[in-house]
Amino acid sequence: MKVAVLSESPADEAAIRVFVDGLLREQTESCQRPRSPSGGKDAVFGSLPSVLTYVHYRTDADALCVVVDSDLSPVHDPSHEQPDKLNLKCRLCKLRSIVTTVQNALRPVPGRPAIKTAIGLAVPQIEAWYLAGRDPHVNEALWNQFLSAALPRYRREDLKVKVYGIDRPLLAQAIECARKEAERIVRDGHLPLLEKLFPVGFGAFASDVRAWRTQG
């Protein structure tokens, strides 16, 4: 299976590939896609339509994964999935809306099925995922409590220091650390724990990836 990945940085994308292989229990192939001019969530949202279109028409990719951080935005809630309850302030809802709009406009390519997709929301950022099995106090439930009660939150810098050792790692260091943490999680059998700690954001992503096997 060939998989393209779109996220906020090459480090995030390296880790996401490891998670996908772990969820599928197979080694996937990388499929190149146009690089975004800059990183961050805005680049992901801005480039997603063109990336999905490119992957559909100009590659032989089977699937596209998209993951962004939630930061201080609303965490996805199952109620958002009810008719007329779409919340575009929720970044998972927004990504899903973009993907649906683009896919509905794409013409079928003879001889190949539609691109499969998997969309995730890292709460509050993807470094939290990397701490599964290392810090049980970093999870979606606590973050939701912080958001609703306006309690002191995890600082972005704190999570980065726990993962990378410093708050502003060089790109090469970030890629190496992110990949190693993802490999540890898969190797040590912590994917179920990751899904338990982050049932909405990672749970949605894992569910999408597993569904690929039943899709044409």
pLDDT, residue 153, reads: 64
Q: Are 41 and 59 in contact (CB under 8 A)?
A: no
Mean pLDDT of residues grouped by 10 in the chain (216 residues)?
95 97 96 75 94 94 96 76 71 94 94 93 96 93 79 75 93 96 98 97 96 86
pLDDT at 194: 98
Does residue 118 contact residue 208 with C-beta atoms inside 8 Å?
Answer: yes
Say how many C-beta atoms besides its own lie within 10 A of residue 168's C-beta: 10
What pLDDT does residue 2 have?
Answer: 96
Backbone angles phi, psi at 30, to 5 degrees: -80, 140
Give the pLDDT of residue 86: 67
Report the alpha-carbon distance of residue 122 to residue 92 in Å, rounded: 9
Pairing of strands 29-30, 2-6: parallel
CB atoms inside a 10 Å sphere around CB 54: 17
* pLDDT for 79: 64
pTM: 0.92
Res 80: pLDDT: 57
Strand, coil or helix: 20: helix
